[in-house]
Amino acid sequence: MQVWLDFPCTERDTSGAPRIRQRFAQPTRLLIAHHLAEVSTVLAAVETAAHAGQWCVGYVAYEAAAAFDPVLQTHEAHAAGSLPLAWFAVFDEATDWPNQSASSTTPATYKTNVWQDQTSPATFAEHFAEIKAAIARGDTYQINYTTRLKSTFAGDALAYFQALHRGQPNGYSLFIDTPDWQICSVSPELFFDWDGYTLTTQPMKGTAARGNDATSDATQAARLRQSSKEQAENLMIVDLLRNDLGRIAQTGSVQVPQLFELQALPTVWQMTSTITAHTRPNTSLVDIFRALFPCGSVTGAPKVKAMELIRTLESSPRGAYCGALGVVRPHANGKGKGIQATFNVGIRTVVIRQGDAECGIGSGITWDADCTAEQREFRAKQRFLGRAAQPFALLETLKLENGTIWLLSEHLQRLQHSAAHFAYVFDLAQVETTLTDVIERHPQGAWRVRLLLEANGQSHAEAFALEPNPASIRVQLAHTAIESDHEFLRHKTTQREVYAPFQPTTPAYFDTLLWNERGELTEFTKGNLVLEINGKAYTPPVSSGLLPGCLRQQLLQQGKLQERVLYQDDLRRAEKVWFINSVRGWLAVQTSLEGA
């Protein structure tokens, strides 16, 4: 058994470290609740152990809600296949979580298959209408509706957690590995932090997908920041939590120091607010859960009616998802009781059991919500799973000719940008040493160099003889659209599944020309597109959904290309069509495209 924990430290923490990054093994005991009557007993034992100097790490499942208030409805606590209602491992000591480095061994392998949503679009629309009807009746004013995604899992669960963690590196991350099940939680949302005196909670409501480039990303953030609908959704939960905190707070101590702040996550923008309070003397950990659990951001408001409707609409237990996962540890604080309890809201959480993986995705639905927009939000929140579907390396394909690599600085800049995006270790000197070795082994002739950068910073390169360019090439037009906001279109990696459905159907075609859901031309699967129209050279913008090629970037900087949204009509009237990349240069495309 092992547990890995990476939580931000709070302002009241005196350790001086920005984060608590600990690894645990060999617990002295396990505190487990299988029945509602046992949940409070487990939490009381957790608090006692922390006062005695031990670390307690674990979770409380969403279905434990009735243990704190019998009127809170959930699915049956003992549903088949469910995990315990509460589970904590108690440790005498913690060890540091080692950082990744280039000296690390090659990461273990794992794989998830395509995640299947257990709620069909038709059922989603039906449930959405039922929620809107409930709001119209005055039963509720916000419901956090969730669905389940399921997949199969094979391989090393820790390696999978580390990949998820790289995609959400600044949140409240916890990995629990037991012989029977594993939990990989990379939640960005704080449920509560408590030092025995000051209690802080930070609900997260309001979401927008990240943009494809800096301009569209800033636009998305501005829209979220200015959205009265998203602000209202956030404020509803702030008010709910203020009331919840009031049940255990000293009179007049509940404050909202931050309202409607934006948090930039790798795949979405999230709106958060911060609420604080000073707890009354003799408040216990059980008292805090009784007042706050489940977090209002995953129920809706008012909480009792919201959970009642959720129980009716959702077909399965939530489990650790939408529960609380965290740590209770000894902590010296003059005003407090000598412990620090920090729990996340169990979103962005995958549970693995006997080769099956499950992840919940949810969204707050209010009267102003639109069904199509909510479904888009669900898809945006799922993207963190696609990023970690299986291990991948960053990739640069370079042209080495007579000892010189063409466009080397552009390739290295792009590689560094992608490493920062995916939180991969990037050591420029180590990468340059790898390339120098390839150059010394291939001083003459033309070569195609394949440079790989692993997550731990290790780089590898190999060279292949480069065949002469053909005089022209035949390509086909894709028969279906490609999703323009797919993350792996904008970064060159070994994760090529997004391109797999668009491979040429016969060897007669050199490549396939892609177009997106808006009908915009984007790129080839192995190069960028250039159309010559009225004597001027145009290439699609990154916002259409494509890889910013190094040759393309140089030509744009030199003023030899202009960005412009292009359509199939432009393809038909173009005087010339070109395939370009930094290995082949310019290849003339025969203009009679199959499917055009």
Q: Which of the residues are catalytic?
A: 189, 205
Pairing, β 339-345 against β 356-365: unpaired
d(CA 202, CA 128): 26
Query: In 182-284, which ranges are continuous DSSP H helix?
Result: 214-226, 228-246
d(CA 448, CA 389): 28
Helix, strand or coil for residue 100? coil
Report the C-alpha gap between 166 and 170 in whole angstroms: 9
Distance between CA 90 and CA 49 in Å, rounded?
A: 8
121-137 and 371-387 helices, crossing angle to 10°: 130
Angle between helices 228-246 and 285-292 (to 10 degrees): 140
The number of C-alpha atoms within 13 Å of 305 and in the hemisphere containing its C-beta is 13
The closest of 568, 542, 535, 538 to 486, measured between CA atoms, is 542
Residue 404 contacts by C-beta under 8 Å, 6 or more apart in sequence? none
How far, in Å, CA of 512 to CA of 521, rounded?
11
Q: Is 421 helix (H, G, I), strand (E, B) or coil?
A: helix
Distance of CA 441 to the CA centre of its chain: 41
For the chain, state the CA radius of gyration. 27
